[in-house]
Amino acid sequence: MSKELSIKNRKITDSVTLAITAKAKKMKAEGIDVVSFGAGEPDFNTPKHIRDAAIAAIEKGSNGYTASSGMPELRQAICDKLREDNHLDYKPENIVVSNGAKHSLHNVLLALCNPGDEVIVPVPYWVSYPELVKLADAVPVYVETPEENGFKYDKASLEKAITEKTKAIILNSPNNPTGTVYTEAELKSIADIAVKYGIYVISDEIYEKLTYDGHHVSIASFSEEIKNLTIVVNGMSKAYAMTGWRIGYTASNKEIANIMTNIQSHATSNPNTVAQYASIEALKGDQEPIHQMVKAFVERRNYMVEKINAIEGLSCRKPEGAFYVMVNISKIMGRTLGGKVINSSMDFAEYLLDNAKVAVVPGSGFGTDNYVRLSYATSLENIKEGLSRIEEALK
């Protein structure tokens, strides 16, 4: 009898984002004054009308199982949202509600991939993309999206990465970690490639409401051909400050939706029932809290970008969406700071945490070592204090 544990799953790496955040929290618990730029969640409370809807569901006893793919009322609310916001016509049978957008992505990749299939992943990437691809027995194929190109795919590099094994392209706009937002013309170019080669597009649109410059467009909205090849992934966490409620969803063709529903029925049953009632209210109720949150993020983003570009050795581009800034630290590489030689983004992150009591996320977690990521999902006061500490630590 073999006692060897899973070879595949032993190779799955921990999230660098969570590791840095955990270390910062541990230091805070020890009474150390740490400014953290690591968090990937809004620092706002879930709006009151959404919380009230959850409390009402609990008091009413609406706590039982629901359909594996989510309550019909919630799936219809999602269809209404997609029609109004994204010009996409779906029926509830096309929608699968899951335990967060990360779970939705996991379902998508399990539904699409066979062993050896290739999935194109942009670099820098969100930390979980490669690992989720590997969990589906597929192979991540990395395509560089350089800063000088706005951290975006270009047609030549994208087509060069396509082989007969290519199953899907991961597209994330607005993007984590770069804040990049693709224009309609750029999305149409990607759509043309996907249709030409018959490749699926996994369109992660979780940050769509947090778009500051330009406007969000869903790649699935261009034609029936690209819509049939696209799996739209979205959720409640970022737009409605509902990270811990764990509600994500997908919109896809019926065949893919059925496979995901069957996978989920055995893996997790239904998503959290009370959170589903809260999500219905979020989608159908007052949207003003989103506008207030976006207004705050714009102010924070503008301050952070201006300050970073004024610090010697650091630079960044202005993100169009999400709530992250990718800071270029290439001029810091090789320097000695506080007796520590900075040879990597992890070295730099550790130096800042140990010496400036500031937590940032090393770019190595996103596949690019000349950067660190800072989140402005924290108060303007914290941003000012943290950046002042960084500036002092680099003098």
Separation of alpha carbons 16 and 234, rounded Å: 23
Does residue 310 surpass a pLDDT of 80? yes
pLDDT in tens, 123-161: 999 999 999 999 999 999 999 999 999 999 999 999 999
Please give the distance of CA 269 from its chain centroid, rounded to a whole number. 24
How would you label 213-230 residue by residue, b for 16+ Cβ within 10 Å and e otherwise? eeebbbbbbbeeebbebb
User: 63-284 belongs to which CATH class?
Assistant: alpha beta
> What pLDDT was estimated at residue 303?
98
Where in the chain are the domains?
7-45+289-393, 63-284
> Cα(4)–Cα(298) distance, rounded to whole angstroms?
51
Calculate the average pLDDT of the chain: 96
Q: Specify whether the CB–CB gap between 37 and 375 falls below 8 A.
A: yes
DSSP code of 136? T
Query: Residue 334 pLDDT > 80, yes or no?
Result: yes
* Dist. CA 361–CA 352, nearest whole Å: 10
The reported pLDDT for the residue numbered 22 is 77
User: Is the Cβ–Cβ distance between 110 and 131 less than 8 Å?
Assistant: no
Confidence class for position 17, pLDDT limits 50, 70, 90: low
Burial class from Cβ neighbours inside 10 Å (0-12, 13-18, 19+) for residue 325 reads: buried
For the residues 104-121, what does the mean pLDDT come to?
98
CB-based contacts of 89, cutoff 8 Å, min separation 6? 82, 83
Question: In CATH, what is the architecture of 7-45+289-393?
Answer: Alpha-Beta Complex (3.90)
185-220 pLDDT per residue, tens: 999 999 999 999 999 999 999 999 999 998 999 999
Q: Which of 75, 117, 389, 380 is nearest to 254 (CA)?
A: 75
Give the angle 98-100-104 at the CA atoms, nearest 5°.
55
**Which percentage of the chain shows pLDDT scores above 90?**
92
The model's pTM? 0.96
pLDDT band at 14 (very low <50, low <70, confident <90, very high): confident
Question: Tens of pLDDT along 225-236?
Answer: 999 999 999 999
Residue 16 confidence class, pLDDT cut points 50, 70, 90: low
